[in-house]
């Protein structure tokens, strides 16, 4: 089955985004032919409550408004910040996290509380002081649910892994041993799709896995 999906979105709780209702999003999805849309900012408590009150699970891991066929997937953007040993400044990279259900969101919120991370904006920061600490955080998040996905966001834009702010050559520089858990990437709207041909080298991953990633995104 081939689907048109948009899995990176935001709500009014994220800076620079207007107050857009789920109902309005659903109407626009039908006009544009989008089958599945990311909910945006699902970790933010007010947004979590809004999503729980309006959406009901209609397929495994997919949610809809009452009497509506548009499908939503629970999603947020999270910014990871860490100090890599070979870099002078902290490396900051944006990520998409996809959740299978509200129980997984709750577990992530509890993790953030344990780590003393603020959850006061639509796209929260998760900070660490070393790659070892970062990898541990990523593994703990991934352990929440086997269907949870952590996806490097807009990797070819300034705030992405390969962005001008980071000066990284390979994903392994950031993710280390966690790299094999990365199943997909988002290139970014301003990225040149032709650049994807070099991803097998940059990512240090099998070309077959990159093909899956580019189909998904």
Res 18: pLDDT:
77
Cα separation, 66 vs 45, in Å, equals 22
C-alpha neighbours within 13 Å on the C-beta side of residue 22? 27
pLDDT at 166: 84
Q: Across all residues in the chain, what is the average pLDDT? A: 88
- Is 199 a residue whose pLDDT tops 60? no
What integer is the mean pLDDT of 96-103? Answer: 98
Question: Is residue 208 over pLDDT 60?
Answer: no
pLDDT above 60: residue 217 = no
Confidence of residue 216 (pLDDT cuts 50, 70, 90): very low
Residues in the chain: 217
Whether 142 has a pLDDT exceeding 90, the answer reads: yes
Of the given ranges (45-49, 64-68, 197-201), which has the lowest mean pLDDT?
197-201
What is the residue extent of each domain of the chain? 5-216
Instruction: Tell me what pLDDT residue 16 has.
Output: 75
Using alpha carbons, select from 71, 74, 23, 85 the residue that is nearest to residue 52.
74
Half-sphere exposure of 128 toward its Cβ, with a 13 Å CA cutoff?
19
Topology annotation, domain 5-216: TIM Barrel (3.20.20)
Number of other CB atoms surrounding residue 37 within 10 Å: 23
Task: Look up residue 90 and give its DSSP letter.
Answer: P
Average pLDDT score over residue span 165-173 = 87
Residues 2-19: what's their mean pLDDT?
87
Helix (H, G, I), strand (E, B) or coil at 115: coil
- Which stretch of 75-79, 111-115, 204-208, 209-213 has the lowest confidence by average pLDDT? 209-213
pLDDT mean over 79-87: 94
């Amino acid at each position: 089955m081939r689907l048109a999906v948009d899995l990176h979105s935001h709500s009014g709780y994220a800076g620079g985004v207007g107050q857009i209702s789920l109902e309005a999003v659903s109407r626009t999805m039908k006009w544009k032919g989008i089958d599945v849309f990311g909910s945006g900012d699902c970790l933010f408590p007010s947004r979590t409550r809004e999503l729980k009150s309006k959406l009901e699970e209609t397929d495994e891991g997919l949610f809809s408004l009452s009497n509506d066929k548009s499908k939503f997937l629970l999603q947020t953007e999270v910014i990871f910040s860490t100090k890599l040993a070979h870099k002078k400044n902290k490396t900051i990279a944006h990520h998409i996290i996809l959740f299978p259900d509200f129980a997984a969101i709750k577990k992530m919120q509890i993790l953030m509380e344990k780590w003393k991370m603020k959850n006061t904006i639509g796209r929260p920061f998760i900070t660490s002081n070393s790659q070892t600490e970062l990898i541990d955080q990523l593994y703990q998040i991934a352990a929440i649910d086997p269907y949870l996905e952590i996806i490097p966001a807009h990797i070819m834009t300034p705030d992405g892994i390969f962005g001008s702010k980071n000066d990284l050559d390979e994903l392994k520089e950031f993710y280390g041993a966690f790299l094999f858990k990365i199943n997909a990437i988002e290139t970014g709207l301003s990225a040149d799709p032709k650049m994807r041909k070099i991803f097998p080298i940059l990512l240090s991953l099998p070309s077959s896995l990159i093909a899956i990633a580019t189909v998904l995104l």
